[in-house]
Structure 1
Amino acid sequence: MSANKKDLRAYLQDNLLIGDGAMATQLYRTGVPVGVSFEELCLSNPQFVHDVHKAYYDAGARLLETNTFGANRDALSRYGLEHKVTRINRAAVAIAREAAKADAFVVGSIGSILAGRVRQKAMDEFRDQFEEQAIALIHAGVDGLILETFLDVEELLLAIDVIRPLTDQPLICQLATLEVGRTRDGYTLTEAFSLLQKAGADIVGLNCRLGPAEILRSYERVQVPEGALLSAFPNAGRLGLTDGEYAYKSSPEYFAESAKRLREQGVRLLGGCCGTTPEHVKAMADALHGLAPQVRVNPSETENERPSLSSYNVRDRQKPSIVERVKTGTTIIVEFDPPKDLDTEGFLQGCCELHKAGADSITLADNSLANVRMSNMALGAIMKSQYGMDPLIHIACRDRNLIGQQSHLMGLHALGIDQVLVVTGDPSRFGDLPGASSVFDVTSFDLIRMVKQLNEGISFSGRPLKQKAQFIVGAAFNPNVRQIDAAIKRLEKKVEAGADFIMTQPVYDAEAIRLVYESTKHINIPVFIGIMPLTSQRNAEFLHNEVPGIKLSDEALARMRKVQGEEARQEGIKMAKELLDAAIPIFNGIYLITPFNYYAMSVELIQYVRQKSSLLQASAQA
C-alpha cells in the first residue's frame, strides 16, 4: 500500500490501511524482561525499538505507532522517570521515522492514565499530563495521534478536549471494552462513538481486551455516526494458561480471516494489540491486499421481548446428591450463567425450562472469565427455595480471601446448598474490572481440602463449628492440553485433596471423549464429561482460536463453516448429539454447558440424553 502522506484522513477515504501489532509482545520476545519501562528503551536501547518497528513495516504495516503508550508522567513515575517525558516521546518519534519508509504513517501513541485502575477521584489532574505528552509528540513530527486502550469514555473525552485544540492532525480514538457493546463507565458503543466524533475524533474504534470475534460482534451491533472512520486493533484472543505457560491463542491465519470480516463492517484501519506479532500483521496485509474499503452499513435496531415467568410451576422436591444419583444411572448437570445485570426473570425462566426437561442439577459459575455477574449464592437460594431446583455453585479462589471463603461456605450451608465446584478462577486483570485485585489466598487443591475440613466440623482456623457441613465437592479438569499425562497428575492431586466428582471442559470429538475415559477410568469418583453445542461458524472459531482450554476438531470447524443462522444452531445440536452418542455408553455423568443462554438448545440435549439412556438401559436388560 502506498500511503498519501498529506493526510491520514484523506487516505482512509479510499484505502484500507494496515497498522502494526503489539510492541510489548515483541520486545519481550527479544529478551526485554518484564518489570522495566518499555518506553524508556527509546533512550537506553533504541535499536530494540527500531527492530520491532522494522519487523512490522516489513510485514506490511503502513501505520506505525510510537513506543509511547505509557510515556506519561504518571506511568513513568513508577520507574523514577517522570522527568523524562518529553525526551522519551521525542526519541520515540525519531526511532519510528527511521524504521519506516516514506509510504508509512507514524502516529504518536497515548494511552489511558487510569490504565484499568478503578477511578477514585476527579480526572482533571490528568489534563496536564495529556497536554505534556501530546505536545512532545506533535513537535517531534507525527502524522497524527492514536489515543488507545481507554476503558472509560469520560477519560477519553477529557484527553480529546485537551489535545484537539493543540493540533488539527488526525486523532484516532480507541476504546477498550470489557464486554461486547458497552464501556466500563456504562456507555453503549453507539453513544460512545457519537460523543467521540462530536468531541473531535476523526477515527473511532476498539483495541485491546477483546479478540477479533468479540470486536466483530461489537461492530455488528453499533450505530456508527455518519462520516466517522472505523478502526480495529484486536488482541490475539484471550490470554490463558495452557501446559504451564501463559499465551495468546489466535493464529495469523485466523487474523487473516477476521480482517476480511472486519472490512465487511466498514473497518478501514486494521492492526493488532496484545499478543499480536509481525506474522499476524503480514497475514492481515496479505488477506486485504488489493481490496478497497467497504461502505459501513449500520444494523437495524431490534428489541427482544421476554415471556412472563408466571406460567412456570416447578414442583419442589428433595433430591439425592449428583454423586449418589450417578451411581444408579445417567445424571445430567447443566451450566447456566447468572445474569450480568439486575434482571433475574430471564435467568429463572431458563432454569425452570432446564429443570422441567430433566436436568438433575443446574450449575452456576462464579464470575467466569473474571466478568461480574449476579451472586450465584443468591440465585441458588432462590432456585432451591422457590422452585425446588438443585443448584451446584462454583467457588473461585480469585475473589475472596480465606475469611470471605469460609463465610461464603457457611452461608451456603445455612441455605442448604451443599453441592459446590471449586475452581481457580481467571485473573481479574482479564475481566471487566481489571483494576480489581485477584486474591488467590489458596490454590484449588487447598480450597478443596478446606471445604472437606468443614465437613469434619472444623473451621479453616481449626476452631470447632458445633455442626458438620455436608458439602459435595467437585473439581474441574481440562483435557484439551498437549500433555494429557500432566493434566491427569494434577487431577489426581485434586482427588487426593478430597474431590467427590469431576467436571471437564467441553470436548468436541469422539476421540477426545474416549481419551478422557481411558485417562480417568482408574479414578474412583464420577466424571461428568463436558459438552457445549456450537451456535455458529464464528462461535466455533472464537472458541477454537481465542478461549483458553477449548480446542475444536478440524471436522467440527469445517461443518460449522457450511451453515448460518438457525441452521448453524441446528448443526451445533446435531454435532452435540453425535458427541453424546459417544459419551453416554461410557459416562454416567453428562455436563451440558449452555451457550449464550440459549437454554432451548440445552433442553433439547437433555431430552436426547434421557431418551438415549433409556434405550441403552432397555437394551441391556433385554
Structure 2
Amino acid sequence: MKADLREALRQQLIVGDGAMGTYLYQMGFPVGISYEELNLLKPDVIMDVHRRYYEAGARLIETNTFSANREKLSKYGLEQEVEAINRAGVDLARRSVGSDAYVVGAIGSIRAGKRKNVRTAKVKDDLKQQIEVLADTPVDGLLLESFYDLEELLIALKLIRKISSLPVICQFATEGTGSTHDGIPLDEAFRRLLAAGADVVGFNCRSGPNGLMRSLERIAGMEAAPPFSIFPNAGIADYVDGRYTFAATPSYFGETARKFVDLGARIIGGCCGTTPEHIAAIASSLRGYVPDPAAIRKLTENVREPRPERIAEPVQVSDRPPAAPPVQSEPTIVDLVKERPTVIVELDPPRDLDIEKFMQGASALKKAGADALTMADNSLAVTRMSNLALGSLVQERIGIRPLIHIACRDRNMIGTQSHMMGLHALGIDHVLAVTGDPAKFGDLPGSSSVYDLTSFEIIRMIKQLNEGVSFSGKPLKKKANFIVGAAFNPNVKYLDKAVRRLERKIESGADYIMTQPVYNAELIEKISEATRHLNVPIFLGIMPLASGGNAEYLHNEVPGIQLSDEVRQRMSGLKGEEGRAMGVQIAKELLDVALSHFKGIYLMTPFLAYEMTVELTKYVWQKAGRRDFHLYPLEK
C-alpha cells in the first residue's frame, strides 16, 4: 500500500506527468473543442495518454479536468456536464495507471489572468461545484494549477479546506517575475497559501524551465520552505504554418530537473508542449538522485540574467531637438547593401514607461554607424512599448532610420491597415513582416492571437498599399513606399525546405530577408550556398550571448535559435562582464565568416546591453575598412 502523498513527499521525489491539452493537439484533436469532454466522448484516448505518462515514469497523474468547471464548459454548451466530466476524469486516470501512482484532481483558474472578466461570487460558485465533485471521488489530492492571482487561488484553497483534508498542491502560472499577477511578492503569496492549508506550492505553465527556475530561486530560501512543485512548458511556443510547436527537448528537461530538485522541488513534471518523452527524461535523470545542499547558492548566482553595469551618457529625451533630415529620401537599406556592408541593429522597446536607456542605446548605435534601428512587435508575446511610437522618436530625435516589425498576431486586417497607414504618415517606410509568437504563451495569456493574415499574406497586402490600393481593394489616393522584409529561420533540420518557404515570401513581395541568429560558422556557409540563387539581399542575424545561462535558455527554449556545442561549451558557467566579453568575442568570430558571404548584417541586442552591439557595429566597419562612422549614410 502506497504512503499518503504528504508522507511520500517527505521521503522521495515524485515525477509528475506532462501536458494533456497540447498533447491531444499533437495527436490531431483541434483547437476550439473541449478536451475535457473527451472524458465522455473518447475515454480510450484519455486513458492512453495517462498510460503513456505512467509508463514514462510519472507517478503523479493529473485528471483531465483542468477546465471542467461551469464557466469554461458553458462555452461549449456543456455547463450541465460538470459532475459527469469530473467523475469520468478521475475514473479514467485511476484505471489507466498502477496502484503506485498518485491521482490528483486538476482544477484550473476560472479567470485565467483576466481579473475582471468573472464576478467573484460566480468564481466561488463555479469553483465550489467542481471541488465538491472531485473531493467526493477517490483522488489522492487536489491540484490547483495555472492560477495567476493570489486572490483566486486563496478562494479555491479555502473552499477545499471547508470540506476536505485532502493534500492540496497550489501552483501559479509565472514568467519568471518576482510577484503574482495581482502584485503580491511570491514569498508572501506562498506564506499565505501555506497558512491557509496548502501542502505543496509551486509553478506551472507560461514559462519553460529557465523562467520557472528564476521564480523558484526567488523563494527557495524562504523560512520553513515547503515541498515545491514545478511543471514547466517545453519552452516558448512557435506558430508556423498554422501549427503550434515547442522548442525544448526531453534531454534539456532531464538536465534542468536536477537543478529544480537542488532548489527544493519535490514534484517535477511538465506543462504545455511536453510529451511522455520529456517525462521519461525527467524520470531517468532523477532516478537515484540526491539533492546537492550547496547547489542553491551556485544556481542563484549563475542563472539570473545579467544586467550591464556601465551607464552611458544620458540622452535628454524630454527636450525636443530640431528634427533630423527626413530619411525617406535617403537610399533604402536594399540600395545600401548592394553597394557596401550594411548593418541593422535590433533594440527591444522597453517593458515599462522609461525610455531613457532605449534612447541612449539608439544614440550610441547611431554614432557607431548603424544603418537602421529595428524594433520588434511585442516579441515572444510579451507586452512592450509601441514600436511605432519609438520608431517615430528615434527618427526625429536621433536621426537614425527605424525599421519596424509588424506581427500578424495582434491586429486584424482593419488594425493592420490602419497601423501601416500611420507608419506611412510618419515617414517610416522600412518594415519586417512576421507571424508573431502566440499570445497565450506571453505575459497576458488571456489575450487572443488574431492571425487574420499569414506572413505571406501580410507581405502581399503591404505591397498592395504601394500600388495605392487598400486591403479592401479601394483606392487610397496616394501610393505608399514600403520596403518590406521577411523573416527566415535557418536553424532547422532541413534547410532546403526552409529556403523553399523563403522563396514563397519573396514571391509574395519581400524586398529583403532578416534571419534568426546563427551561432555556427558552417551553417553560415550553408545558408550562403542555399540562398545564392535568390534575388533579394539577406541580412544574417548575429546576437551576442550575455551569459552561460542566457546561452542555454536560447538554445533550449526559444523557437528558431540553435547554438553549436562549441559555443555552449565556451559560454558554460560564464556570467557578468566575463560572459558578455566572451559573447562579443564569439560574435566577432561569426562576423568574420558572415562578412565573407553576406553584405547585410543584422545584430540583435540582448537585454538592452547596447554596448555589445555598438562594439560589434564598429567591428563590422573595421573589417570593411570604413572610418567615417559618424556619416550616415555613405555617399553612393
Determine if contact 2:315/2:359 at 8 Å carries over to the other structure.
no
Correspondence 1:115-514 to 2 at 5 A? 115=112, 119-178=116-175, 180-222=177-219, 225-227=222-224, 228-241=226-239, 245-293=243-291, 307=311, 310=314, 316=324, 320=330, 321-514=332-525
Correspondence 1:481-560 to 2 at 5 A? 481-560=492-571
Determine if contact 2:315/2:356 at 8 Å carries over to the other structure.
no
1:273-325 Cα offsets, whole Å, 9 max, x none, are: 12222222221122112234466958699999885863679994565332232
Aligned pairs, number: 614
1:97-139 Cα offsets, whole Å, 9 max, x none, are: 3444443322211111234657424232021221121122222
CA distance in structure 2 between the aligned counterparts of 1:311 and 1:399, rounded to whole angstroms: 31
Give the equivalent residue in structure 2 for 1:107: 104
CA 1:275 to 1:405, structure 2 compared with 1: closer, same or farther past 3 Å?
A: closer
What is the deviation of 1:455? Answer: 3.1
Specify the SS of the correspondent of 1:460.
coil
CA distance in structure 2 between the aligned counterparts of 1:104 and 1:446, rounded to whole angstroms: 49
CA 1:303 to 1:438, structure 2 compared with 1: closer, same or farther past 3 Å?
A: closer
CA distance in structure 1 between the aligned counterparts of 2:308 and 2:185, rounded to whole angstroms: 17
CA distance in structure 1 between the aligned counterparts of 2:450 and 2:242, rounded to whole angstroms: 20
CA 1:121 to 1:317, structure 2 compared with 1: closer, same or farther past 3 Å?
A: same
CA distance in structure 2 between the aligned counterparts of 1:304 and 1:614, rounded to whole angstroms: 29
Determine if contact 2:314/2:360 at 8 Å carries over to the other structure.
no
Determine if contact 1:306/1:346 at 8 Å carries over to the other structure.
no
Correspondence 1:25-40 to 2 at 5 A? 25-27=22-24, 36-40=33-37
What is the deviation of 1:173? Answer: 0.7
CA distance in structure 2 between the aligned counterparts of 1:17 and 1:323, rounded to whole angstroms: 56
What is the deviation of 1:172? Answer: 0.7
Determine if contact 1:66/1:108 at 8 Å carries over to the other structure.
yes
What is the deviation of 1:492? Answer: 2.6
Residue of 67, 81, 90 corresponding to 1:70: 67
401-410 or 381-390: which moved more? 401-410
What is the deviation of 1:462? Answer: 4.4
CA distance in structure 1 between the aligned counterparts of 2:117 and 2:242, rounded to whole angstroms: 36
Determine if contact 2:346/2:603 at 8 Å carries over to the other structure.
yes
Specify the SS of the correspondent of 2:339.
coil
Specify the SS of the correspondent of 1:246.
strand
Structure 1 gap ranges (5+): 618-622
Determine if contact 1:97/1:106 at 8 Å carries over to the other structure.
yes
Specify the SS of the correspondent of 1:591.
strand
TM-score w.r.t. the length of structure 1 is 0.90
Determine if contact 1:194/1:224 at 8 Å carries over to the other structure.
no
446-455 or 276-285: which moved more? 446-455
What is the deviation of 1:579? Answer: 0.8
CA 1:202 to 1:442, structure 2 compared with 1: closer, same or farther past 3 Å?
A: same
164-173 or 427-436: which moved more? 427-436
Give the equivalent residue in structure 1 for 2:621: 610
What is the deviation of 1:487? Answer: 2.6
Amino acid at match of 1:140: T
Q: Is 1:93 matched with 2:90?
A: yes
316-325 or 415-424: which moved more? 316-325
Specify the SS of the correspondent of 1:541.
helix
Amino acid at match of 1:362: L
CA 1:159 to 1:307, structure 2 compared with 1: closer, same or farther past 3 Å?
A: same
CA distance in structure 1 between the aligned counterparts of 2:406 and 2:435, rounded to whole angstroms: 8
CA 1:89 to 1:540, structure 2 compared with 1: closer, same or farther past 3 Å?
A: same
What is the deviation of 1:232? Answer: 0.4
What is the deviation of 1:562? Answer: 5.8
Determine if contact 1:108/1:144 at 8 Å carries over to the other structure.
yes
Specify the SS of the correspondent of 2:83.
helix
CA distance in structure 1 between the aligned counterparts of 2:315 and 2:51, rounded to whole angstroms: 64
Give the equivalent residue in structure 2 for 1:60: 57
What is the deviation of 1:501? Answer: 1.7
Specify the SS of the correspondent of 1:174.
strand
TM-score w.r.t. the length of structure 2 is 0.88
1:437-496 Cα offsets, whole Å, 9 max, x none, are: 333333333333333333344443444444443322222222223333333233233333
CA distance in structure 2 between the aligned counterparts of 1:40 and 1:133, rounded to whole angstroms: 15
Specify the SS of the correspondent of 1:124.
helix
CA 1:322 to 1:219, structure 2 compared with 1: closer, same or farther past 3 Å?
A: same
Determine if contact 2:314/2:356 at 8 Å carries over to the other structure.
no
CA distance in structure 1 between the aligned counterparts of 2:120 and 2:456, rounded to whole angstroms: 42
CA distance in structure 2 between the aligned counterparts of 1:273 and 1:446, rounded to whole angstroms: 32
Specify the SS of the correspondent of 1:481.
coil
83-92 or 65-74: which moved more? 83-92
Specify the SS of the correspondent of 1:21.
coil
Determine if contact 1:193/1:204 at 8 Å carries over to the other structure.
yes
Amino acid at match of 2:238: G
CA distance in structure 2 between the aligned counterparts of 1:30 and 1:525, rounded to whole angstroms: 39
Determine if contact 1:193/1:224 at 8 Å carries over to the other structure.
no
What is the deviation of 1:255? Answer: 0.7
Specify the SS of the correspondent of 2:349.
coil
197-206 or 310-319: which moved more? 310-319
Determine if contact 2:237/2:437 at 8 Å carries over to the other structure.
no
Give the equivalent residue in structure 2 for 1:620: none
Specify the SS of the correspondent of 1:354.
helix
1:331-350 Cα offsets, whole Å, 9 max, x none, are: 11110110111111122122
Amino acid at match of 2:578: E
CA distance in structure 1 between the aligned counterparts of 2:204 and 2:580, rounded to whole angstroms: 29
CA 1:202 to 1:303, structure 2 compared with 1: closer, same or farther past 3 Å?
A: farther
Amino acid at match of 2:569: A
What is the deviation of 1:372? Answer: 1.3
1:513-533 Cα offsets, whole Å, 9 max, x none, are: 112222222223221111112
Give the equivalent residue in structure 1 for 2:580: 569
What is the deviation of 1:250? Answer: 1.9
1:125-184 Cα offsets, whole Å, 9 max, x none, are: 021221121122222132221100123333222212322222222211111125644444
CA 1:452 to 1:39, structure 2 compared with 1: closer, same or farther past 3 Å?
A: closer
183-192 or 549-558: which moved more? 183-192
What is the deviation of 1:40? Answer: 3.6
